[in-house]
Amino acid sequence: MEMRVKAHAKINWALNILGFRPNGYHELDMLMQSVELCDEMVFRPAEDLTLSVNGGPRECDDKNLVIRAAKALCAHVGKELGAQIDLAKYIPARAGMGGGSADCAAALIALNDMWKLELPMETLLSIGLKLGADVPFCLTGGLARVSGIGENIDPMPAAPAIPLAMVTPGGGLSTQDVFRAWDAGDRAVSTHDMYDLARAVMDKDLGRIAALTHNSLEVPAINMMPEIGACMAAFRDLGAGAVFMTGSGSTVVAAFETDEQARNAAARVPGAVFTRTCA
């Protein structure tokens, strides 16, 4: 039995850092949504666990979240299970779009099914959180308010698709480096209501989205990579209704009223791609 699945990228309409937990982790409050841009994965039964990425073999070590997901499932059920996993990458790395987390979540769901483990979503969410902060959201997808370190997920009603143009300048940024830069800065926190922003997204009100979106990591990321600010200015000049950085960067997201506007903007900003939000 062959299983083909899509691992959807995510964007952060907002990312607020509220402070620190006693263990040193950052306390977050975010509004996240899945987008159509995705990696594609194929799972096949096999005796051993193997992974290929874009047609080339990869070491089955703990550096790869897909392999870590498979091994975590095996550890949970106390069995050594095999699979041939082929991954085609389209989500950029170090982009703030959750590419590795999306692949990890897709692997948890697909292997739970293929191996007939019958683990409930609650268990997958618990396993996923240990693998990465964005994995629980990637397991559920859609539009949701996400808080804590990523474990608290408040799903929102389905929202209409919003056309987007996105670009990842400078080859991306290290998440750890950007958070460290925030730690060393003024630690600004937004007071905007996340549910007001969610309503604006559900209403496809780009003006209100522009007024309410906020990313605590945007300023430190731009200080580290000024190209982010240049890309934001370019999209605004092309008529974007809302422009913001997603996650820890370096991806810049521009929201438009129509597919045509977003496609035209993507064509005019080098390296940009067109996509849409999805439920």
Q: What are phi and psi for residue 12, nearest 5 degrees? A: -105, 110
Those residues with Cβ within 8 angstroms of residue 62's Cβ, 6 or more apart along the chain or in another chain: 68, 71
Q: What are phi and psi for residue 39, nearest 5 degrees? A: -85, 155
Residue (of 244, 190, 186, 184) closest to 218 by Cα position? 244
Strands (DSSP E) contained in 137-202 are 143-148, 152-155, 163-167
In the annotation, is 130 catalytic? Answer: no
What is the distance between the alpha carbons of residues 35 and 12, in angstroms, rounded to a whole number? 11
Token pair belonging to 82: 């095999």
Active-site residue, selected from the candidate residues 10, 29, 39, 103 = 10
Those residues with Cβ within 8 angstroms of residue 152's Cβ, 6 or more apart along the chain or in another chain: 146
Q: Quick check: bond before 34 cis, omega within 30?
A: no
In the annotation, is 89 catalytic? Answer: no
Active-site residue, selected from the candidate residues 71, 116, 134, 154 = 134
Active site amino acids: 10, 134
